[in-house]
Structure 1
Amino acid sequence: MKRLFNTNFNNETVHGMLLFLRIGIAALMLTHGIPKLQGLLAGGEIKFGDPIGIGVEPSLYLTIFAEVGCSVLLILGLCTRLAIIPLIITMLVAAFIVHAQDDFGTKEMAFHYLLVFVFLLFSGPGKYSFDSLIGRSSGQSSGRRRRSSRR
């Protein structure tokens, strides 16, 4: 029973779950973005809304950028916090503008994505990411410079 209610964190498990969450949520977001990208590449008539008044095409391009491009960056854990910002904006527009008049059940998916993206914005990508590799390599090289300059 004591183990069931244990609240101690194992760092490796947390980093593993951040990896799982990043890949899972980004893969699910790709299921929304890839059909839009395919429709755009097919060259047919663009049928998309203009929720924030910048035009149909720019709205579609920005949505594809967020849902496909930023999702790929999120999977890799590369520029994670910067990549999450367009995803958060996209979900805010979806929840509060595109589906403003809809019932909560329709908005709910956008809120689910939004919650996870905000969590990842604050938590970061975790140890198993390119961001972590880049951070470690730059931290080690600056550490060497500091040590050698003290002598």
Structure 2
Amino acid sequence: MKKFLFDCGTRDGTASLGLFVLRVGTGLMMMLGHGLPKLHAYGKLKDGWPTANIWPLSHLSSQISLICTLAAEIGAAALLVLGLMTRPAAFLFGFAMVVAAFQIGANAPWFIGPGVSEAKEPALLYLLPAVVLILSGAGGWSFDAALYREGKRKRW
């Protein structure tokens, strides 16, 4: 279980730097640009927040759906910034982006362009780093790397 939650993937310096920039940039942009504004407007948003049209998400109330969105956009994004439980956090973050793109924005066009302000594109652009982090892990510059160390080192 510890390996599942805290395995950081590669410890290569250059790759770890790239993953660090990806994690911190994506997490902060989501938290500051989407999560915190929703949290500050919680009172206005809680009754009219959309719910997904798939089971079991279709049984959630508007308030619970908003809380789940905030958990992904603030909680999971904060874990990505720290590099803590990165793969599960990236899965939750990516799942929220799939729901946003293909359920909430199901009828929206794919791309933002002239005269189009709402589209699937932003959610899909946030989904890409989530997939990368699920596959690669947080890298060596993370709390995951500090918490999980392989028991035996390879000796050449």
The normalised TM-score by structure 1 is 0.79
The CA deviation at 1:115 is 1.2
Matches within 5 A, 1:125-136: 125-136=138-149
Figure out how many residues of one structure are paired with residues of the other and give that number: 127
Q: Residue by residue, what CA displacement relative to the aligned partner does 1:48-85 show, whole Å, maximum 9, x if unpaired?
A: 11224211011000000000011111100001111111
Segments of 5+ residues of structure 2 without an aligned counterpart are 1-11, 112-118
Write out the 4+ residue segments of structure 1 that deviate beyond 6 Å after TM superposition: none
Sequence identity (%): 37
Q: 2:121 — aligned with what?
A: 108
Scaled by the length of structure 2, the TM-score of the pair is 0.76
Structure 2 residue identity aligned to 1:18: L
Q: Is the 8 A contact 2:38 2:45 kept in 1?
A: no
Quick check: which has more Rg, 1 or 2?
1
Specify which structure has the higher proportion of helix: 1
Structure 1 unmatched ranges of 5 or more: 1-10, 144-151
Supply the distance in 2 between the matched residues of 1:132 and 1:102 (Cα, whole angstroms): 40
Specify which structure has the bigger relative contact order, considering alpha-carbon pairs within 8 angstroms and separated by 6 or more residues. 2
Q: Report the Cα offset of residue 45 of structure 1.
A: 5.9
Are residues 1:92 and 2:98 paired?
yes
Quick one: structure 1 residues 78 and 98, their matched pair in 2 at CA, closer, same or farther if it must change by over 3 Å? same
Over the aligned positions, Cα root-mean-square deviation in angstroms equals: 1.4
